[in-house]
Amino acid sequence: MNALIFAAGLGTRLGAYTGDTPKALVHVAGKPMLEHQLLHLKRAGVNTVVVNVHHFADKIVDFIDRNGAFGMDIRISDETDFLLDTGGGLRKALQLFDNDNPVLVHNVDIFSSVNLKELYNSHLSDKSDVTMVVADRDTARKLYFDGHRNLTGWRNSADGKTRSAFADFDYTQCKPYAFQGIHVVSQSVRRYLDEVAEDKFGITGFYIDYANRLKISAVEDLNPSGWVDAGKPEMLSKAADIVAQFYQ
């Protein structure tokens, strides 16, 4: 199994925590976020991991080296000179894998009860280009999926703006979900990523714009209370609770 951990973010929402530390090394339950995610992926069966780096990149690389890469094959996608965002970051990272297996993509600050092995196997059996973990949780900006759980578009309920690759997109006929920051990507996506002219772009916008050319499926997280974006100080304690319950 292959995986990519997005660890290049600036971590500005964490304030003083990231004054001299990359977000990936901010502690949750006594250990850096990155350590939790790597070991969680390892337990799921992942052996090859790409970690993208930018902010305090040398500290992340040193941390991985000092810990013997946790017995995994860890490769670094270096974005020190230019932060590529999630879409550009994924495109660059995919070049570092030396097989055609799908890649499980995981934000370093997302902690959840999702069974990553089951997610990966579901992606393989469904033969999707992308499988996104989504949830029915409260947020203004949501992705919309049809009756077959294929991505059709996006809408911001706060201002009514929509975005879709389908001319007949009707959000009222689709099911809205929030993206949980975990997805599995097949190598078939690479040629479409290469069509994007910009170096820096977001992966969610890419998925929306290419939903008419790729099979982008949803897997619902039925335990959204067992999920947290630990990118804010007030969320670190909830992340620790999730680690205690699901990361052992």
Cβ(47)–Cβ(117) below 8 Å: no
pLDDT at 13: 97
- Predicted structure pTM score: 0.96
Give 12's pLDDT tier (boundaries 50, 70, 90): very high
- H-helix or E-strand spanning residue 191: helix 190-193
What b-and-e string marks burial along 43-81, b requiring 16 or more CB atoms within 10 Å of the CB?
Answer: ebebebbbbbbbbbbebbeebbeeeeeeebebbbbebee
Summarised one tens digit per residue, pLDDT across range 52-108 is: 999 999 999 999 999 999 999 999 999 999 999 999 999 999 999 999 999 999 999
Summarised one tens digit per residue, pLDDT across range 192-241 is: 999 999 999 999 999 999 999 999 999 999 999 999 999 999 999 999 99
Does 123 have pLDDT greater than 90?
yes
Query: What contacts 24+ positions apart, CB below 8 Å, involve 165-168?
Result: 165/208, 165/209, 165/210, 165/211, 165/212, 165/213, 166/211, 166/212
Kindly list the structural domains of the chain, giving each domain's residue range(s) and its CATH number in brackets, ordered by start.
2-246 (3.90.550.10)
| CA 175 to chain CA mean position, Å | 21
Summarised one tens digit per residue, pLDDT across range 139-193 is: 999 999 999 999 999 999 999 999 999 999 999 999 999 999 999 999 999 999 9
Does 248 have pLDDT greater than 90?
no
pLDDT at 234: 98
What b-and-e string marks burial along 130-157, b requiring 16 or more CB atoms within 10 Å of the CB?
Answer: bbbbbbeeeeeebbbbbeebebbbbbee
